[in-house]
Amino acid sequence: MQSTLLLSCLVAAFSIAGCDGLTTGEHAQTVPVTENSDGGYGPVTLSLTPEMAPVAINFRAQQADDPAEVGKWNTYHAVLSKDGAPVASGTFNMNNTGTQDRPEGAPYILRNMLTAWPREAGDYGLVITPTKPVEVRLKDTQVVVRRNVRSDVNVR
């Protein structure tokens, strides 16, 4: 019984730890984005400062209610740059959360794309590129920025 409880607590702790960029810190900005001809998003301009660090840059979207997309996902690579030079990047998936019985799935999906530590204030560019053919149609897509998030680097 104790080992089951301990295992449950460890799983919960690891699950919460992965959500730092989604739930900690303060909301800084939300930018609506539309899909480009390559199936990606951007470029998007984000105003960042060193005082905001660490900054979590997240992707929020709704999925279509298409039973043919159940069990499928999109994989993207996000690159944040300053004056054309990459400063942070990350790869993330957006999966269809529906089932055959409930194709609508979750009301929305929120994923952390990357966490950055801006060294100087200014405008940064964000480009999101699919790494494989897009399988899940997304709508109401947004880039959500959270400032002063907790990250693994902060806890070390």
Domain regions of the chain by residue span: 2-149
- Alpha-carbon gap, residue 98 to 79, rounded angstroms: 29
Which of the residue ranges 4-8, 33-37, 87-91, 144-148 would you say has the lowest mean pLDDT?
Answer: 4-8
Q: In whole angstroms, how far apart are CA 136 and each of 6, 55, 65?
A: 37, 27, 10
CATH number for 2-149: choose from 2.60.120, 3.40.50, 1.10.287, 1.20.1250: 2.60.120
17-39 burial, b if ≥16 CB within 10 A, otherwise e?
eeebbbebbeebeebebebeeeb
Calculate Rg over the CA atoms of the chain. Answer: 17
- Alpha-carbon gap, residue 74 to 136, rounded angstroms: 6
- Alpha-carbon gap, residue 98 to 113, rounded angstroms: 22
What confidence score (pLDDT) does residue 8 get? 40
Token pair 């990357």 is at which residue?
A: 114
What confidence score (pLDDT) does residue 96 get? 84
Is residue 94 a contact partner of residue 35, using CB atoms and an 8 Å limit? no
pTM score: 0.81
Mean pLDDT of 9-21: 42
Q: In whole angstroms, how far apart are CA 66 and each of 26, 54, 70?
A: 34, 37, 7
What confidence score (pLDDT) does residue 120 get? 97
